[in-house]
Amino acid sequence: MTPASARPESAGTPAPAPTAAMLGHLAQQLGLALAPAQCTALLDYAALLQRWNRVHNLTALTGNDEMLSHHLLDCLAIVRPLQAAIARHAPQPAERGVHFLDAGSGGGLPGIPLAVALPAWQGTLVDAVQKKCAFLQQAQVELRLANIRVRHARLETLREPAYDLVVARAFASLPDLIALTRHALRPGGLWAAMKGRRPDEELAALPPGIEVLDTITLRVPLLAEQRHLVVLRVAAPAAPGPTVEPHR
C-alpha cells in the first residue's frame, strides 16, 4: 500500500474508512495476529475518536488515513517491543498480567490500543483534563474494555499500587516523565516512552540512577516518519566489592 502521506486524493474527498481485514493485514507486519473482533474494536475506537473530536478537539489528526497510520498502527508498533522488554527485564509469573499506567492518556493513546491488543494486561489511563477522561470512559463502555480503568487525576497525586510499566506517548520529556511517575513504578518496573526522532538531548538530561535499557527504532506500516521507543528503569544498586581483611 502507498504511505498515507504520499497517497494522492481529490481535494475535499476523504479517504475510505479502513476495514478490519486491512488492519489485520497491517498488524501482521508488526508481528501481531489480531482477531477480527480486535480489529473491529480498534476501528470502532478510531471512529469514536473522530466523532468526539469534532466537539472536544482530542487530536489534531482527523482523516481516516491518519487515524490508521499515526494512531492505530503507531501504537500497535510498540506491542511486540513492550512484550520483549517485559520478558527480558521485568519477567512476570505466567498467571499474572502486566499492570500498566498510561501517563497523560489524552484520547487513549497508546492505552486503548494496548488494552485491545493485549487483553491479559490491565491498564489505568490517567489524564488531568476532565473532557478527555469523559471520552476515555465512553470508549471503555462502548468497546466493553474490562481490562482498563480511567482516572481523572494529576500524575504526581496518584496514590496507587505500583505499576509494572509506565507508558507515555507525546506527553513530556523523559526527565519530566520520570519525575512525575517515579513513585508509581514498582521496584524493577519499566518506563516506555514513545518518541518521534531519537531523543538524544532528553537521554543526556536523565537524572542519575536511571538506566536506558533500549532505544528501539520502530517501523510503522504506512508511516514514513521516524518513531522510537525508549525503555528505561531505575538502575540496580551496584554490588558491594569484596571485603579485604586488614593485615594483622
Please give the domain boundaries of the chain with CATH numbers for all domains: 78-234 (3.40.50.150)
- Mapped onto helix, strand or coil, the DSSP state of residue 126 is strand
Q: In the numeric block, which cell numbers belong to residue 14?
A: 476523504
Mean pLDDT of the chain: 88
pLDDT value at position 11? 45
How far does CA 175 lie from the centroid of its chain? 17
User: pLDDT value at position 195?
Assistant: 97
Q: Tell me the residue type at 46.
A: A
> Which DSSP string do the residues of 158-224 spell out, in sequence order?
---PPEEEEEEESS--HHHHHHHHGGGEEEEEEEEEEESS--HHHHHTPPTTEEEEEEEEP--TT--
Sheet holding 122-127, edge to edge: 148-152, 122-127, 99-103, 163-169, 185-195, 228-234, 210-217
Q: Please report the pLDDT score of residue 66 as a whole number.
A: 82
| Averaged pLDDT for residues 20-33 | 97
And the C-alpha cell for 27? 498488524
pTM, entire model: 0.87
pLDDT confidence of residue 120 = 95
With beta carbons less than 8 A apart as the criterion, state whether 103 and 128 touch.
Answer: no
pLDDT at 3 over 50: no
Lowest mean pLDDT among 9-23, 70-84, 133-147, 178-192: 9-23
> Do residues 164 and 100 make contact, with C-beta atoms less than 8 angstroms apart?
yes
**Mean local confidence (pLDDT), 132-137:** 96
Mean pLDDT, to the nearest integer, of 121-145?
96
**Residue 112 or 237, more confident:** 112
Query: Exposed, middle or buried: residue 32 (CB in 10 Å: 0-12, 13-18, 19+)?
Result: middle
Task: Give the pLDDT of residue 95.
Answer: 56
* Structure confidence at residue 242 as a pLDDT band (50, 70, 90): low
The three grid cell numbers given for residue 87, joined into one nine-digit string? 520478558
Per-residue pLDDT, averaged over 142-151, amounts to 97
Q: What is the mean pLDDT of residues 55-69?
A: 69
Answer for the pair 108, 121: CB distance below 8 angstroms, yes or no: no
To which residue does cell 489511563 refer? 125
User: In this model, does residue 196 exceed pLDDT 80?
Assistant: yes
